[in-house]
Structure 1
Amino acid sequence: MAEPKNTNEYTEESIRSLDWREHIRLRPGMYIGKLGDGSAPDDGIYVLLKEVVDNCIDEHTMGYGRQVEINIEGKKVSVRDYGRGIPLGKVVDVVSKINTGAKYDSKAFQKSVGLNGVGTKAVNALSQYFKVTAFRDGKEKTAEFEKGVLVNEHKETKTTEENGTLVNFVPDETVFRNFHFIHEYLDNQLWNYCYLNAGLAIHLNGKKYISKNGLLDLLQRKTNPDELRYPIIHLKGNDIEVAISHNNDYGEDVFSFVNGQFTTQGGTHQQAFREAYVKVVRDFFKKDYDASDIRTSIVAAVSVRVQEPVFESQTKTKLGSLNVYENGPSMKNFVLEFLSKELDNYLHRNPTIADALKKRIEQSERERKELAGIKKLANERAKKANLHNKKLRDCRVHLNDEPPSKNKEEFVSSQNNSTIFITEGDSASGSITKSRNVDTQAVFSLRGKPLNAYGLTKKVVYENEEFNLLQHALNIEDGLEGLRYNNIVIATDADVDGMHIRLLMMTFFLQFFPDLVKRGHVYILETPLFRVRNKQETLYCYDEGEKQKAITKLGGKPEITRFKGLGEISPEEFGRFIGEDMRVQPVILEQGDHIQQLLEYYMGKNTMERQDFIINNLRVELDEVEATV
């Protein structure tokens, strides 16, 4: 009797070799992290820009070029530096051959950001149009690509342009669907470059970014002077710079950088700073303070320069290096030695600041002890509830999971997409739960309107069962290091009650866990207000303008449905709005925003200022009025 044929045969024909371009386009997450549409600060379009600018920064670090010019018009990006310029004979190779670049030559690039010759190749492969021009010693050379394929290699010509490199690219809309650049994210990205490269001038669409005082400027921009408990401590040494203060917020707010790269997920340098800071403070005051009391409410920035840094992914968001230099000190000892000398000296020279720091630590100690009793009871209740937590419908992959040894990059990509929807009511929760991606999307269901947390102490987080269960679901009680979801999406109806719930949830996060908002983890889900359809096509519209365009496109008299709440949208339809084309609005704190003033204005007592604002900005939507007449 013949053996049944195996339809899943693994033969020589099963083995394929992809060229560099095909591999990047097939597995973009391995090279740039998540894709996204630009609504998150770590979405792919910002990584593309970063990869190009990183090369400009490396030139500046090596002493070539003090200016970078960036122009973004719609979806077109242009970056011009004034470094040495790519050697003309290698212009095509540098942007289209993997493992080709100057970063392997330690003499040409010491302590650079780009290390493995992948960055601009990924930009090239993931752009529908990519053009690079090198200017070098009175000559220039240009090459043009489409989705990584060379379409035009120009001959060398004479030029009067200064040395440097010009890159133009348009991200591929088949990869980054419906993408758009958000100015606040670009603003932060470019300021970070300037803080870490004092004297470097970056121009974005004519706006100039420049920093004279490095991390001191960064912390001044990220904080409000009225909230700081003492003036910012700014310390600089060889290959390390630190800025430190304390405010009145809960949690820790530490910005860490390696070779000019913002390591959003920290790493060995950030952990070394946290441990060294605690030890130096304990030694200075000769008291065995609890580490959490020392670090609570800290706002700090730490930057190190490392030879041959090892990052845990191509996007370089977490440092894995154990040593600063080859055969040099460990990261832990390097940071500890620096702080033991410089911070200790500073505190001895500035007794007033030392006293203010001591008072802040002891205040945190008192608050922690006051919470201890209720915290223990609340955590015991939460552990029992977590066994049968009806509020949380969890997913399989979490941001804080340990990646497996196999398929690590794909797993990390899923971690970046890990999302929790916070919604109200059984019907809305049911629709999301049925249509979600169970691997990466979780749902937390609220019961009615949550408590207004403005002006309350953290005690309420433990006394209020709903807040306590949410805190445990997110795993943020002891800071963001254990955060289980990269994206926290508030999903409520687009009516008055839904808006109120949004405000109450944002108040909760800003009051007790402001780092979630500051680090770009909190979003508002956009769901369509209208469905416009005929027998051939169905269009979903998010505002009145889109509705009118849909009516024009379909012609005739299409059927128009207005969704009044999330519960009205069927699970089948809902799946379209929380998938690859999900629309979210990031909750962004703009420069200079004072959290407590914002909360007092919008969520405090009904002040005359707020009444005046409402009266002066009140408007009536005529189409809705006409619809009810």
Structure 2
Amino acid sequence: MSDQTQYNEDNIRSLDWKEHIRMRPGMYIGKLGDGSSPDDGIYILLKEVLDNCIDEFVMGAGKTIEVTIKDKTVSVRDYGRGIPLGKVIDVVSKMNTGGKYDSLAFKKSVGLNGVGTKAVNALSNYFRVESVRDEKQKAAEFSGGNLVLDEEIIDTTKRKGTKVTFIPDELIFKNYKFRMEYVVKMLKNYCYLNNGLTILFNGEKYFSENGLKDLLEETINVEDLEYPIIHLKEGDIEIALTHSKTQYSEEYHSFVNGQNTTQGGTHLAAYREALVKTIREFYNKPFEASDVRKSIVTAISIKVMEPVFESQTKTKLGSTEIGSEPGMPSVRTFVNDFVKNKLDNYLHKNPETADALLRKIMQAERERKELSGIRKLAKDRAKKANLHNKKLRDCRAHLTDTKNPRNLESTLFITEGDSASGSITKSRDVNTQAVFSLRGKPLNSYGMSKKIVYENEEFNLLQAALDIEDDMENLRYNNIVIATDADVDGMHIRLLLITFFLQFFPELIKEGHLYILQTPLFRVRNKKETIYCYSEEERKDAIEKLKPKPEITRFKGLGEISPDEFKNFIGDTIRLDPIMMDKNTSIEQLLSFYMGKNTPDRQDFIINNLKVELDTMEAN
């Protein structure tokens, strides 16, 4: 019998808990990443530790959580009840061990399967847990899930609670760094969803008085509100909603038991349906659902017993019932009844808001009718293009495929010209990476209406590729990466694409989906080693390392980089710069300054920020 067909006891191997987590980390924390995306693994590790602190707060134990991140070391301290001292090691290192299997103690907990902290432990090269109870402390330290220090129980004057300190393992998370903007957003969400909770992060204090109302005020500029934010809350459900004056598409923030369900689920589907139904009944008009929801900016939070999520990272709710006890309503009925009663009452009591909402819906209806003819033509053109056009080279995994373990890795590269798109296409991972090729510079869409998206073939095909014409629910790629040359023309194309997304799909940026691809400026090599350098500093370091006389190549454009080399820049070591928005800047102000008519202000800004890179010029 050949080696290929042998199958006996020797082929069967049992992995212990930490080996399995380290070998298949994606099963536990989604994608790995390097910290450039808000759903990268290092933030999931932080979230898993925080979820335990939040569960303590929900149980009425400890109102403050302290978080510090210094370089790559993360520390999270709560003032809850503390892990029972005899179980400190088991709770962080034995699968299916935890306090949340007792449904009475944690009825509406986020972390129900006892995996979270174990995953953090296994995926950290340093992990320390300390628990204080009854003026005694127990601590233990691990590396890669292996116990390296088991401290004796000692007397202490510290306040009760639990402290976890960890450093994500660089063997697993390559070249990672924590981006504080993502951490702050996560911590603020915890505060919005837990009234009375204070989080101290690197000395800054976060606290929310008004829950989801505060979240929307953080999300939408006050000048952009069509009417004051409607904020409704009762028991296990809370909503906040308004419409934007300038935004075209729908924007939703959804939460279950304090978990940000970025991919929605049964509660969000029920909410979208309930909004339309309630508003139709209030005005007694058969509005189109898309007209009611156009430009909406809204948030919903619900609590359910023993929630079922569609993945370990809990980004989509799968539960159809609020709880397993007899007589409990479905999620759909629960959400629908709340919206029907509370929103209807609110609109009756606030006629000015009701009038403003009606005007907004009527405006959306007029715009839809004006666009209907050109939209049909554009859709027909897009269908033909899908058959014949070679702009989009698709991949196999898409963000909407929640059953696909690699759906969060789905990426669309937007490239310029045939040579650059050719290099990426030949070197990409066909499972998760798609390529959309631009023909020259796109149109400056600043100040234009949605009509231009349908009239401009390139924009229409890009919109169709992303599948975001009406809302974000069907977004096909988690990461949208602008891949252009790092020269003046490439920078201009970046600006034009960012303008397009800001003008028509700003929530793509708000939700952290848009990036710039970093590609190396230099290749420094000798006969033994090749180093790709992304900055002058890296070039100097590489020359020093490979001296005496390494060969130095300056890359002038993406098309010059061969496919064999390009795969080094879009694989495990890909470097992405996220496009982020400052909440204090309105989109209108931003676009008018950078993309409007040339103004003295912009000329002054350019002159004051000119920077001559002498080293780069010398290198050329």
TM-score tier after normalising by the smaller chain length: over 0.9
Which of residues 47, 72, 78 in structure 2 aligns to 1:50? 47
Which of residues 420, 423, 433 in structure 2 aligns to 1:428? 420
Q: TM-score, normalised by structure 1?
A: 0.97
Is 1:348 aligned to 2:348, yes or no?
yes
Kept in 2, the 8 Å contact 1:534–1:558? The answer is yes
What fraction of aligned residue pairs are identical, expressed as a percent?
67
Per-residue CA deviation, residues 158-180 of structure 1 (Å, 9 max, x unaligned), is: 00011100000000000000000
Give distance in 1, aligned partners of 2:502 and 2:459. Answer: 13
Counterpart of 2:141 in structure 1 is: 144
Is 1:311 aligned to 2:291, yes or no?
no
Counterpart amino acid of 1:233?
I
Secondary structure in 2 matching 1:444: strand
- In the TM superposition, residue 534 of structure 1 has moved relative to its aligned partner by 1.0
Counterpart of 1:94 in structure 2 is: 91
Kept in 2, the 8 Å contact 1:239–1:305? The answer is yes
Which of residues 68, 73, 77 in structure 2 aligns to 1:76? 73
- In the TM superposition, residue 593 of structure 1 has moved relative to its aligned partner by 2.6
Kept in 2, the 8 Å contact 1:143–1:153? The answer is yes
Secondary structure in 1 matching 2:33: coil
Give distance in 2, aligned partners of 1:212 and 1:60. Answer: 16
Counterpart of 2:571 in structure 1 is: 579
Per-residue CA deviation, residues 273-307 of structure 1 (Å, 9 max, x unaligned), is: 10001111001000010000000100011000111
- In the TM superposition, residue 473 of structure 1 has moved relative to its aligned partner by 1.0
Which range moves more in the overlay, 181-190 or 392-401? 392-401
Matches within 5 A, 1:121-200: 121-200=118-197
Kept in 2, the 8 Å contact 1:138–1:160? The answer is yes
Counterpart of 1:259 in structure 2 is: 257
Kept in 2, the 8 Å contact 1:222–1:592? The answer is no
RMSD: 1.0
Counterpart of 1:230 in structure 2 is: 227
Counterpart of 2:595 in structure 1 is: 603
Counterpart amino acid of 2:543?
I
- In the TM superposition, residue 6 of structure 1 has moved relative to its aligned partner by 5.1
Give distance in 1, aligned partners of 2:99 and 2:437. Answer: 52
Which of residues 541, 549, 553 in structure 1 aligns to 2:541? 549
Number of aligned positions between the proteins? 617
Counterpart of 2:378 in structure 1 is: 378
Kept in 2, the 8 Å contact 1:311–1:317? The answer is yes
Which of residues 106, 114, 125 in structure 2 aligns to 1:109? 106
Counterpart of 1:446 in structure 2 is: 438
Counterpart amino acid of 2:444?
N
Which of residues 11, 14, 17 in structure 2 aligns to 1:14? 11
Counterpart amino acid of 2:580?
I
Kept in 2, the 8 Å contact 1:223–1:592? The answer is no
- In the TM superposition, residue 486 of structure 1 has moved relative to its aligned partner by 1.0
Counterpart of 2:322 in structure 1 is: 324
Counterpart of 1:513 in structure 2 is: 505
Kept in 2, the 8 Å contact 1:399–1:418? The answer is yes
Secondary structure in 2 matching 1:540: strand
Give distance in 2, aligned partners of 1:603 and 1:86. Answer: 55
Kept in 2, the 8 Å contact 1:392–1:443? The answer is yes
Give distance in 2, aligned partners of 1:298 and 1:172. Answer: 41
Kept in 2, the 8 Å contact 1:261–1:316? The answer is yes
Kept in 2, the 8 Å contact 1:60–1:66? The answer is yes
Counterpart of 1:287 in structure 2 is: 285
Per-residue CA deviation, residues 204-252 of structure 1 (Å, 9 max, x unaligned), is: 1101111111111111111101011000000110100110100020111
- In the TM superposition, residue 402 of structure 1 has moved relative to its aligned partner by 6.0
Give distance in 2, aligned partners of 1:418 and 1:548. Answer: 35
Secondary structure in 1 matching 2:338: helix
Counterpart amino acid of 1:400?
T
Counterpart of 1:32 in structure 2 is: 29
Is 1:534 aligned to 2:526, yes or no?
yes
- In the TM superposition, residue 484 of structure 1 has moved relative to its aligned partner by 1.3
Counterpart of 2:555 in structure 1 is: 563
Kept in 1, the 8 Å contact 2:479–2:514? The answer is yes
Classify 1:46/1:402 alpha carbon distance in 2 versus 1 (closer, same or farther; 3 Å). Answer: closer
- In the TM superposition, residue 8 of structure 1 has moved relative to its aligned partner by 3.7
Give distance in 1, aligned partners of 2:288 and 2:299. Answer: 21
Structure 2: state its 5+ residue gaps.
Answer: none
Which range moves more in the overlay, 476-485 or 437-446? 476-485
Counterpart amino acid of 2:164?
V
Is 1:369 aligned to 2:369, yes or no?
yes
Give distance in 2, aligned partners of 1:461 and 1:547. Answer: 42
Give distance in 2, aligned partners of 1:9 and 1:609. Answer: 75
Which of residues 482, 488, 513 in structure 1 aligns to 2:480? 488
Counterpart of 1:62 in structure 2 is: 59
- In the TM superposition, residue 399 of structure 1 has moved relative to its aligned partner by 1.6
Give distance in 2, aligned partners of 1:367 and 1:270. Answer: 26
Counterpart of 1:85 in structure 2 is: 82
Per-residue CA deviation, residues 591-627 of structure 1 (Å, 9 max, x unaligned), is: 2231111111111111111111011111212224445
Secondary structure in 2 matching 1:577: coil
- In the TM superposition, residue 502 of structure 1 has moved relative to its aligned partner by 0.4
Kept in 1, the 8 Å contact 2:37–2:578? The answer is yes
Kept in 1, the 8 Å contact 2:251–2:472? The answer is no
Give distance in 1, aligned partners of 2:166 and 2:263. Answer: 28
Give distance in 2, aligned partners of 1:537 and 1:402. Answer: 41
Counterpart amino acid of 2:581?
L
Give distance in 1, aligned partners of 2:100 and 2:589. Answer: 47
Secondary structure in 2 matching 1:532: strand
Kept in 1, the 8 Å contact 2:374–2:454? The answer is yes
Secondary structure in 1 matching 2:453: helix
Give distance in 2, aligned partners of 1:14 and 1:419. Answer: 36
Q: TM-score, normalised by structure 2?
A: 0.98
Counterpart of 1:407 in structure 2 is: none
- In the TM superposition, residue 476 of structure 1 has moved relative to its aligned partner by 1.1
Secondary structure in 2 matching 1:226: helix
Classify 1:126/1:367 alpha carbon distance in 2 versus 1 (closer, same or farther; 3 Å). Answer: same
Give distance in 2, aligned partners of 1:593 and 1:511. Answer: 14
Kept in 2, the 8 Å contact 1:62–1:110? The answer is no
